[in-house]
Structure 1
Amino acid sequence: MVTNTQTNPTAVQGCLDDLGTPLHDVTFVIVDLETAGGRPGAQGITEIGAVKVRGGEVLGEFATLVDPGCAIPPQIQRLTGITTAMVHDAPKLASVLPAFFEFLGPDAVLVAHNAPFDVGFLTAAARDLEVPWPAPAVVDTVKLARALVPRDEVRNHRLGTLAAHFGASVNPNHRALADAQATVDVLHALLSRAGSLGVTSREELLSFSAKVPAARRRKATLADGLPAEPGVYVFENEDGKPLYVGTSGNIRTRVRSYFTASEKRREMGLMVDLAARVTPIPCATALEAHVREIRLIAEHRPRFNRRSSRPEKIAWLKITDEKFPRLSVVREQRADEATYLGPFRTMVAARLARDAVHDVRRIRQCTTPIRAKGGTACVLAEMDRCDAPCIGGITQPDYLDLVSRLRQELLNEPGSIVNDVEARLARLAGQERFEEARAGRDALIELLRGLDRHQRRAPIVNNPHLMAARPRRGGGWEFAVIRHGRLAASGASRPGQDPRLTIEALRATAEAVATPPAHRSAALEEETEVLLRWIARAGTRIVETDAPWVSPRDAATRYLDDLDPVVRRAHEAAAVESRLLAHPGQGRATTRQSSSPRSNPASRSRWE
C-alpha cells in the first residue's frame, strides 16, 4: 500500500548564510524492515514500512508485506505477528524493491533505527536482484541518540525506550510501518536537540555522530559570523598565536565541521580545545587561498599543521664549481657558478637521484680536493666505476668534457641516462637481484621528478610578468598574475562581465616583485609548484607574458609518464578535463565563455 500526499514545496530565496541545505528543506525517508532472520541474503524481507517527511510534514507512506520465499520461523512469528500464511499471497521482493526505491527518490536521506541492519538487507537484496542501489545518504537514529541522549536520561537507546521518552504518537510494535512512524517522532526530537548544538543543515547532520565533548560543541560559536566564502581560516590561541591554518570553499561551514564528530583526527580535537578564536581571510580565488595558506604556514609554523610547508625540507642536486666537479646534495642554492637541479622534496629523494646518476656515469664521488697526481685510488676506481681523477686517471679537460655532457643530459634530455639505468636494472633482474632493481627504479623516478620540476619551473621563475586565466564553473574567469614564480595578484570576473576590467585592475595593483638571482624563485618553492600546476591544467590561457612561455615536452616528463603511475594518472585526469572543456554537456567541468583571453606565448598581449 502506497499513499502519497506530497505537495510542491514553497520556494525560498536563499542567501550566503544558508549555504548547505537547511534541515527544514531536507526530505527524509524513515524505513523499517521486518525479516525472517538476522542475516542479509540468508533470510528474506517479510515487510517494508516507510514514511516520507519534510519540514515536519508527512509527505507519504509506503507499506507492504513481502513474500520472503521461505517459511517464517516460529520465534519471528511470535515477535512480529507476521505468519507464513500472511505472506503467502504477498508480492515478491523483485517487484517491491524497485517500487520502494522509487518512493525513496534521488535526493532523500534514508533514516533507520539501527541503520546497518536495514541498509544491509536492502543492499544485499539489490545486489541479488540486480537492482541498482541508489546509495542514499543514511542517518542512524541509534547513533544520533547515543550522541544526544545521555544514559542518565534513558536506560537504553532502543526504539521503544526512546519513543516512550519523547512521547511518540505511535507505539512501536515490531511491525514495519508502526516502527517507522515511531522513528519519525524520535528523529524530530533528536533533530531539535542537534539544532541547539548548531546542526542546522543536511551536511552538518550527516557529519554529526558519536561522542563529541560538550565543551568542544560549545566552541561551535567560534564559527558564528565567519564568512560563507572561499578563503583561509586561522585557529588562534588566547595569545593570538596560530594553531592551525586551512583553506575551504566555504570558511564558515568548514570551521563548523571541527566541532562535530566528522572531525576524527585526535590532534584536531586537541587543537580545537586550545583555540580561542578563528580569523578568516576571504580570497578571490581558490588559487589565492592555497598560496596564502602556504605562506602563513611557512611564516608561523603552526603546531597542528603536520602536512605543511617546511622550506628547509627541500633539497637540490648540485654540480659543484670545482676543478673536478662532482654531484652534491645541498639544502639551498648559493650565488656561485655551480649548476643546481631540482628542487627535490626531501634530502632522501635528492640522494636517491644522485645515486641513480652515479650508477651509470663515471663522475667522481669522493669529497677530498684533488691537488696532484699519485696516491691511492678509491674503492670505486678499483671497481671501475670512476675514472679516478684523484690519481691522474683522467685529465682535467677530458673530465670537464664528461661533466659538460652530463650537465646537458640532466638539463635538457635525460634519455641516455634513462636508457643506461634501465639496462642496468634489466641486468640486475636477470641476475634475480630484484630488490636492487626495485631500488634502482625508485631512484630513477626520484631523479626524473626532480629534473621535471627543474625544467618546468624555469619559464616561470625567469619571467618578470605572466598573467594567465582559467574559466570558472558557472561562467566567468579567474586570473593570476605571476612574477618570478610568485603570485603577485589574483582576481575573478563574473559571468557576463567584461574581463578586461579585471585584467586592467590586476595589472595596476599587482605586487612589485624584485628580480631574484638567476634561476631562483621569488617565492617558496611549494608556492611556485602550485602555480605551475594551476597553469598546466587544461583550459588555462596565457593572457600576457614578458618572456616566451615554454613547457618542455620531450624532457623528464616524457619518461615519467612510463615510469611513475602518479604522474600518469595526473596526465590522464588533465586529458579528461581537456575533453570536457572542449565538448560542452559531457560533464561537470564543461565551461563555455563567449569572450576569452587571447593567448600569445611570445609577447605581452592585450585583451581583444
Structure 2
Amino acid sequence: MAGTSGEHAQLSFDELGQPLHEVTFVVVDLETTGGKSGQDAVTEIAAVKVRGGDTLGEFSTLVDPGRTIPPAVVSITGITDAMVAEAPPLDSVLPSFLEFSRGCVLVAHNAPFDTAFLRAGCAQLGLEWPKPTVLCTVRLARRVLPSDETPDHKLATLARVLHARTAPVHRALDDARATVDVLHALLERVGPLGVHSLEDLLDHLPDVSPQQRRKRHLADDLPNVPGVYLFRGSNDEILYIGTASDLRRRVRQYFTAGERRRRIKEMVALCERVEHIECSHPLEAEVRELRLLGAHQPRYNRRSRFPQRAWWVVLTDEPFPRLSMVRTPRREALGPFRSRRNATKAVEILQSATSLRRCTERIPARNRRGRPCAVYELGHCGAPCAGYQDVEEYAPQVSSVRDLVAGRDDALLRRLHTELVRLSGDQRFEDAAAQRDQLAALVRTLDRGQRLSALAALPELVAARPDGSGGWHIAVVRHGRLAAAGTARCGTPPMPIVDALQTSAETVVPGPGPLCGAPADEIHIVYRWLTAGDTRMVRCSQPWTEPAGAAGSWRTWLERAVSARTPYPAAD
C-alpha cells in the first residue's frame, strides 16, 4: 500500500480525534446547602448520560447533607429537611455516581461549582477522583453565542434562548435535562465551524496557551491502548505520571482547553517528551502508576507519592501495653491512617472505651511504686504504675483491643455504642454527635483494614473480568499485590493464558503487618477490582474469608448513623 507525505496529507480517523457523535457525555447538576464546597453540603445529585443525541440513562437522588438546610436555600430549591431526612448520605451516593459517570466526559453548567463539590466529597470519603474530561456549558455558550443573542449565560436564560424542552427549576434532574438541551444546541452551532471531534471542541474553547498548542504533537506516537504515561522535562526528569484506558486520547487532552489546572499547565510548558508503558488492562495500569509514583515522586503529582507515610495504631510490647502510633505496622495493627490526626482520634476513642493506660513511661511487671495520676482519679485507668493493677488484671483491656482489630470480637464497638445511646438519651446531642462521628470513623477504618488484610493473607488468587468485547482481563494476585496481568481476547481459550500468567508471575514474599507488606493504595485498588460485580474468581490457593466478628457487621449501622439526626440508630 503506497503512502503519502507532506503537510497537506489527509489525516487518519485516529488523528482526527474522537467524533462528537461517539462521545458519551454525563450532564450533572447538584443542589447544595450553599455555595462553598468546603463548608456546605450536597442535597441532591442528578445526571443524564447521552451519546449521539440519545439518552442512555439517568441518575437522580436526594442526599442527606447531615445538617439543616438554610431557609433561603429552601425557598430557592424547595428541598426541605423533611425531604432529605430519609435520603441516603453522600458516602452511599457518590460511589454510585462515580460508577455511572466512569469513562465519560463530565458536563455541567458552571462546571467549577459542581466539580468542586464532587472533588471535596471524594476527598472527604477517601475516594479517588477519576479526573474526567470536564466541559462547562457556561464557557461554551460564551464562546459560541454572540452578545446580542442572549442577555446573560444563566441556565434559565440559555434554556429559553435555545428553546430547551425542559425548563430549569433549581431541582437537579430538571436542570440536568435542561443542560442536555443547551449542550446539544451549542454543539449544533459549532459544527459548521469545523468542530467535529472532542479534541476540536476542547480546542475551540478559550484559555489554550501557545505552549499547549505547540506541544500537542507529543501525543502523536502514543497508542490507543491502556497504560501509564510519563511527562519528562529538559533534563529527562519525570514531571508527572498518569494512567489512561486510552493513552493517546488522554495525553492529547493535556494540550487542549479541557485542562484547566494551573499546576498542570505549568508542567506541560516544561515537558519535552512523553514516555509510555503499555498495559494489559486498566488494573495493571493503575498499579504500575502507583509503583512509579512511589519510586520517582514527581513534583507535579500530589496523590500517592509517599505510600510509606501512612500511620498505624499498635499496642506496645511491654508488660502493660499502651496504644502507640507508628509508621511501620506490626501484625495486629489498626490502620492505615492517612494523617497522624486521624490516628490520634482513633487512639482517643479506644482509650475512652477501655482502661488502657495513657502514660508513656515503661512500667515493670513487678516492684512498682508511685502515685497514680489524674486519669486514675477520673476512673479511666487502673493505675498499674502505682501497683494497683497487676499484669493479669490489666490483660483483659489489652485483649479487647486485639480482638477488635483482628475481627474476633466487637465488644468494644458495642460499648462505645452504648455510650452513644446514653448521651442521646440524656439529650446531650452535641456530645452524642461527636461520639457518633468518632465511632463511625473507627468502624470505617476497621472495616477497610480487615477487608484488605483478608485479601493480603491469600498466597495466590486468580480472577478474570470481562473486557467488554467478548474477552477477559486476567489478574494474578499474591498477598494483595498484582503479580501478573494479561488478556484473553474474544475467541481465545482463557485457561492456557491463566496457566502461563501463573507460571511467569512475580514472586511475592509476605512482609510485616496486617497487609503483609503490600502498600495500602495498591491493595485497595486490587480489592476494588476483585469485588466488582462482574469479576469472577478463577483459582484461589485457600478460602478467601473475613473474620466473624469483623466491623463489616456494622456497615448497616454505619450507613444509618451517617445520615441520622436524632435519635441515633441502634446497633444490629
- Place the TM-score, normalised by the shorter chain, in its bin: 0.5 to 0.7
| Contact 2:475–2:485 (8 Å) recurs in 1 | yes
Q: Is residue 290 of structure 2 the alignment partner of residue 294 of structure 1?
A: yes
- Does the C-alpha gap of structure 1 residues 362 and 477 become closer, same or farther in structure 2, counting only changes over 3 Å? same
Aligned-residue offset at 1:441: 2.3
| Contact 1:204–1:257 (8 Å) recurs in 2 | no
What is the 5 A alignment of 1:230-269?
230-269=226-265
| SS of equivalent residue, structure 1 residue 467 | strand
What is the 5 A alignment of 1:21-32?
21=19
What is the 5 A alignment of 1:539-554?
539-552=534-547
Match of residue 211 from structure 2: 215
What is the 5 A alignment of 1:284-433?
284-333=280-329, 339-371=332-364, 372-431=367-426, 433=428
Aligned-residue offset at 1:493: 1.3
Match of residue 162 from structure 1: none
| Contact 1:344–1:449 (8 Å) recurs in 2 | no
Aligned-residue offset at 1:499: 0.8
| Contact 2:481–2:522 (8 Å) recurs in 1 | yes
What is the 5 A alignment of 1:145-294?
188=192, 190-191=193-194, 201-206=197-202, 208-294=204-290
Q: Is residue 459 of structure 2 the alignment partner of residue 464 of structure 1?
A: yes
Report the Cα distance in structure 1 between the residues aligned to 2:527 and 2:272, rounded to whole angstroms: 36
Q: Which amino acid aligns with 2:477?
A: I
Deviates more, 1:415-424 or 1:478-487: 415-424
Q: Which amino acid aligns with 2:337?
A: F
| SS of equivalent residue, structure 2 residue 398 | helix
Aligned-residue offset at 1:19: 5.8
- Does the C-alpha gap of structure 1 residues 566 and 536 become closer, same or farther in structure 2, counting only changes over 3 Å? farther
Report the Cα distance in structure 1 between the residues aligned to 2:528 and 2:277, rounded to whole angstroms: 23
TM-score when scaled to structure 2? 0.66
Match of residue 138 from structure 1: 183
Aligned-residue offset at 1:234: 0.9
For structure 1, the 5+ residue unaligned runs are 1-13, 27-108, 145-179, 195-199, 569-608
| Contact 1:235–1:245 (8 Å) recurs in 2 | yes
Deviates more, 1:437-446 or 1:243-252: 437-446
Match of residue 557 from structure 1: 552
Give CA-to-partner distance per residue, 1:456-501, whole Å, 9 cap, x none: 1233322222111122323221111111221110111112321113
Aligned-residue offset at 1:268: 0.9
Report the Cα distance in structure 1 between the residues aligned to 2:441 and 2:202, rounded to whole angstroms: 41
Report the Cα distance in structure 2 between the residues aligned to 1:293 and 1:396, rounded to whole angstroms: 48
Q: Which amino acid aligns with 2:277?
A: I
Match of residue 113 from structure 1: 145
For structure 2, the 5+ residue unaligned runs are 1-11, 24-139, 564-572
| SS of equivalent residue, structure 1 residue 246 | strand
Give CA-to-partner distance per residue, 1:210-244, whole Å, 9 cap, x none: 12222221111111111111111111111111111
Report the Cα distance in structure 2 between the residues aligned to 1:22 and 1:403, rounded to whole angstroms: 62
| Contact 1:207–1:257 (8 Å) recurs in 2 | no
| Contact 2:226–2:281 (8 Å) recurs in 1 | yes
Give CA-to-partner distance per residue, 1:82-133, whole Å, 9 cap, x none: xxxxxxxxxxxxxxxxxxxxxxxxxxx9996347455443466633999975
| SS of equivalent residue, structure 1 residue 245 | strand
| Contact 1:484–1:516 (8 Å) recurs in 2 | no
| SS of equivalent residue, structure 1 residue 457 | helix
Report the Cα distance in structure 1 between the residues aligned to 2:213 and 2:15, rounded to whole angstroms: 20
| SS of equivalent residue, structure 2 residue 324 | strand
The count of corresponding residues between Structure 1 and Structure 2 is 421
Aligned-residue offset at 1:422: 2.1
Report the Cα distance in structure 1 between the residues aligned to 2:455 and 2:207, rounded to whole angstroms: 49
| Contact 1:465–1:481 (8 Å) recurs in 2 | yes
Give CA-to-partner distance per residue, 1:424-476, whole Å, 9 cap, x none: 22333455544433332232223222222332123332222211112232322
Q: Which amino acid aligns with 1:121?
A: V
CA RMSD of aligned residues (A): 3.4
Report the Cα distance in structure 2 between the residues aligned to 1:457 and 1:222, rounded to whole angstroms: 39
Match of residue 509 from structure 1: 504
Give CA-to-partner distance per residue, 1:516-559, whole Å, 9 cap, x none: 34644343221111111211222322211222211456521221
Match of residue 127 from structure 1: 167
Aligned-residue offset at 1:15: 6.6
Structure showing greater radius of gyration is 1
| Contact 1:217–1:260 (8 Å) recurs in 2 | yes
TM-score when scaled to structure 1? 0.63
| Contact 1:228–1:253 (8 Å) recurs in 2 | yes
Deviates more, 1:129-138 or 1:495-504: 129-138
- Does the C-alpha gap of structure 1 residues 309 and 448 become closer, same or farther in structure 2, counting only changes over 3 Å? farther
| SS of equivalent residue, structure 2 residue 530 | helix
Match of residue 484 from structure 1: 479
| Contact 1:19–1:228 (8 Å) recurs in 2 | no
Give CA-to-partner distance per residue, 1:374-431, whole Å, 9 cap, x none: 3111121110011111112211112123312331133124532222212222333455
- Does the C-alpha gap of structure 1 residues 134 and 410 become closer, same or farther in structure 2, counting only changes over 3 Å? closer
| Contact 2:459–2:479 (8 Å) recurs in 1 | yes
Match of residue 449 from structure 2: 454
Aligned-residue offset at 1:265: 0.9
- Does the C-alpha gap of structure 1 residues 315 and 555 become closer, same or farther in structure 2, counting only changes over 3 Å? same
Percent identity, aligned pairs only, is 38
Aligned-residue offset at 1:567: 10
**Which structure carries more relative contact order (alpha carbon 8 Å, separation 6+)?**
2
